[in-house]
Chains A and B, each alone.
Chain A
């Protein structure tokens, strides 16, 4: 469930654009107003604001926000204002550009392929072609090591059926094939990739459930017990994103908040991506994992406008 709070009466995009213009143009940029407005608008409303602002003031609101707000807050708000497919396409491009992409970087691609809707993934592929003059698959080919390439290519190429259709016989036979691949330590089999890439998400959850009941251990545990390499780590992320994305994102958030330096980018990415989807569940998971609420953790580890913005989004601040 989402934590984004919308006002009972939403001002028109024109009213919002005008208020934002004033906040951006004044002597001191009025961060409060910007966070107050944008932190309480959903994706459709934000898009209308962007279009209206462009029409009225002949400038891109994202550019204005980036110039007016510095540092991590500016980046986070600009990120929040992007269209989700473009946002995610740019995120992948940045991730792949960084050089050697390890699991922590590649999990971003898995999140897009496995923790969001098939239509969103397709929109990201389309956006990637328009923005970067090559397909997402080609970008992965050039930057990802071959042991992980096959799995990632399969995952991003799929356009899964999006309704709840579960065949228990298929769950049984798919679970058996996965079990065999795990036992034989042949996790790079085509079949593993096809099952995880092409089945619809509801079917896969049924398959994982069947696996646990039949083989007495959750499948991701079975994979991790069978050895340790990059492929297994990536498979674990895949299964978690399909089966219990809230657990995955709670982990990403925990990792970004632990250690000396907060990883502002990963924290913002995880929160902004899920605020309108399942942030409430993520908060519950976070608490179960860490015995401290996400609200408290964010307050302790962040500050200023960036903190206010995140707190607004996760519903901890009016």
Chain B
């Protein structure tokens, strides 16, 4: 595009303007005027591409640190990104992000989370960003069973005390290894007959945390689905760049499979239909990596 545009003479550019009535309106004072909506649209598309490229070329640690900081600054509706980053990364990846956060912002992430978040999610979020989970396969079945009972009791007691502020619930979710948590949820289903996420309808953050920890592909495909919905807000749409750039090297293949299963259409087809320009091409290239 740049090599073509850069070579156009004045006459070429005039022909372009006259030949595209959908972008340029003939004005009474005898010139072809850019349609304002399309200028805004182009600016927006270039911005999205720029954001995607900048995010893609960043070191993953810096990327995660900046994503968490941005979420803190944006406020409560963005705190889900903190849950996402803290729960879907490996222990070493999260440690790297914490290091980068020191360099970029002169504070520790847990310090900033403890001091800027004022709602019921604070305890959970401080714990999540501070975790360094064991990543081996060893699981203590007895402890997992007993912790499943603890979670069950806390959820049943939700009308008296919000489970997200229950110290035991937070401790279990923020310190146990991912394999251990999967065993807990298996026992939960045995005790209760229902999956734990079915019981957590009201507590979105807890539900998201559990999904991120145990079935991140389900979580990510849901986030992508929300980005494509009609009426999706800016925050939901930005998730498209964030999810694709941050997962392209990790579990993109599994996310694509999950997306296809859930929405009945391939992710690439959806991007083709819903997104434009170089930004679209960039996203499609990223999700095709490793194929």
Contacts and interface: CB of A to CB of B under 8 A. Distances in A.
Interface of A: 122, 125-126, 129, 133-138, 141-142, 149-150, 153-154, 157-163, 165, 190, 194, 197-200
Interface residues of B, number: 30
Contact of B130 (A126, A141, A158, A200): A158
Contacts of A165: 106-107
B191 interface: no
B95 A159 contact: yes
Nearest to B138: A133
B91 to A, nearest CB: 8
Nearest to B105: A161
A129 to B, nearest CB: 5
Contacts of B132: 122, 125-126, 129, 135-137, 157
Interface string B139-181: 0000100000000000000000000000100010001110000
A194 B126 contact: yes
A153 B173 CA distance: 13
Q: Which 8 A-B pairs have the closest CB atoms?
A: A157-B130, A198-B111, A137-B175, A194-B114, A135-B134, A133-B138, A129-B134, A198-B110
A154 B106 CA distance: 20
A150 B127 CA distance: 11
Interface string B94-137: 01001100100011101100110000001100110011111110
B181 to A, nearest CB: 12
A128 B191 CA distance: 33
Contacts of B102: 159, 161-162
A160 B101 CA distance: 11
Contacts of B98: 159
A92 to B, nearest CB: 14
A150 B167 contact: yes
A199 B171 CA distance: 21
Contact of B176 (A122, A125, A138, A160): A138
Nearest to A174: B115
B106 A161 contact: yes
Given A141-B175, A157-B130, A157-B131, A198 B108 contact: yes
Instruction: Give the most central of A150, A153, A154, A159: most B CB within 10 Å.
Output: A159
A95 to B, nearest CB: 19
Nearest to B180: A138
Given A122-B95, A194-B114, A194-B126, A135 B175 contact: yes
Nearest to A195: B114
A49 B91 CA distance: 31
A122 B94 CA distance: 12
B110 A159 contact: yes
Contacts of B130: 154, 157-159
A154 B83 CA distance: 18
A200 B108 contact: yes
Nearest to A137: B175
Contacts of A153: 171, 175
Contacts of B110: 157-159, 197-198
15 contacts: A129-B134, A133-B136, A134-B134, A137-B132, A141-B171, A150-B167, A153-B171, A154-B130, A157-B131, A157-B132, A161-B106, A161-B111, A165-B107, A198-B108, A198-B111
B279 to A, nearest CB: 36
Given A134-B138, A161-B106, 8 more contacts: A129-B132, A135-B175, A158-B110, A161-B108, A190-B123, A194-B115, A198-B111, A198-B114
Nearest to B136: A133
Contacts of A133: 134, 136, 138
A154 B129 CA distance: 12
Contacts of A162: 102
A61 to B, nearest CB: 28
B236 to A, nearest CB: 31
A149 B175 CA distance: 13
B273 to A, nearest CB: 44
A153 to B, nearest CB: 7
Contacts of B111: 160-161, 198-200
A233 to B, nearest CB: 21
A157 B131 CA distance: 6
A135 B177 contact: yes
Instruction: Give the most central of A137, A141, A158: most B CB within 10 Å.
Output: A137
Nearest to B137: A133
Contact of A158 (B108, B123, B167): B108
A15 to B, nearest CB: 37
B134 A138 contact: yes
Nearest to A150: B167
A153 B174 CA distance: 11
A199 B143 CA distance: 33
B69 to A, nearest CB: 14
Contacts of A135: 132-134, 175, 177
